[in-house]
């Protein structure tokens, strides 16, 4: 009886599991990497200071290389910016980084007609860029002046990499 039970268990198991198959891993290819060249190591902004007032101020400044493109994309493709906007005390600081391809239109760091609109970038996230000369659009804000208002907005570095 025990022998029949063992055969029955093996037979039921054999009927239940016919075979197993493994699904292979699949590679994920990186997007086509773009190629870009820097036109300077230190960007210039249109203003070297902000006159503090008793009102909140904000704006967007064009980051360039002495009025020329900050960088050129020579081969279209994916590029990854890396940066950290420094935290500043008391309502003063940079708050955004965008870019715009100046060779595709006549607009600059505003989102007005006729475009093209600036491209928002975030640190560590790839962005697909077409060939052309690019400027940065650096957003900033300053709260109404008080005794704790900082004396400057700190510098920060933007680095570009390929995927």
> How many angstroms separate the CA atoms of 51 and 71, rounded?
29
Task: Give the Cβ contact number of residue 98 at 10 Å.
Answer: 18
* Terminal-residue alpha carbon distance, the chain: 67
> How many angstroms separate the CA atoms of 60 and 2, rounded?
85
Mean pLDDT of 97-104: 90
- Which of 101-105, 114-118, 148-152, 156-160 has the highest average model confidence (pLDDT)? 156-160
Domain positions in the chain = 33-146
Q: Which two tokens stand for residue 62?
A: 């064009």
> How many angstroms separate the CA atoms of 83 and 80, rounded?
10
pTM (2 d.p.): 0.78
Calculate what percentage of the chain has a pLDDT beyond 90: 47
pLDDT tens digit sequence for 37-96: 999 999 999 888 888 899 999 988 899 999 999 999 999 999 999 999 998 888 889 999
pLDDT tens digit sequence for 12-25: 555 687 777 787 77
Q: What is the DSSP letter of 31?
A: P
60, 137 Cβ separation under 8 angstroms: yes
Q: What pLDDT score does 114 carry?
A: 53
pLDDT band at 106 (very low <50, low <70, confident <90, very high): low
SS3 content of the chain, % helix, strand, coil (to 5): 10, 35, 55
- The average confidence (pLDDT) of the chain is 84
Beta strand segments in 64-125, E: 71-75, 77-82, 92-101, 119-120
């Amino acid at each position: 009886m025990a022998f029949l039970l063992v055969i029955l268990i093996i037979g039921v198991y054999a009927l239940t599991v016919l075979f197993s198959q493994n699904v292979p891993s699949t590679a994920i290819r990186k997007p086509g990497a773009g190629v870009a060249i820097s036109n300077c190591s230190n960007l210039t902004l249109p203003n070297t200071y902000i006159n503090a007032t008793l009102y909140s101020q904000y704006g967007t400044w064009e980051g360039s290389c002495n009025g020329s493109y900050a960088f050129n994309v020579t081969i279209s493709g994916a590029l990854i910016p890396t940066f950290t906007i420094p935290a500043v005390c008391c309502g003063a600081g940079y708050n955004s980084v965008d870019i715009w391809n100046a060779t595709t239109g006549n607009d600059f760091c505003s989102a007005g007609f006729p475009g093209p609109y600036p491209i928002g970038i975030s640190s560590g996230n790839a962005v697909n860029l077409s060939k052309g000369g690019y400027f940065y659009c650096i957003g900033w804000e300053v709260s109404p002046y008080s005794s704790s208002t900082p004396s400057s907005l700190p510098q920060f570095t933007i680095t570009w990499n390929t995927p």
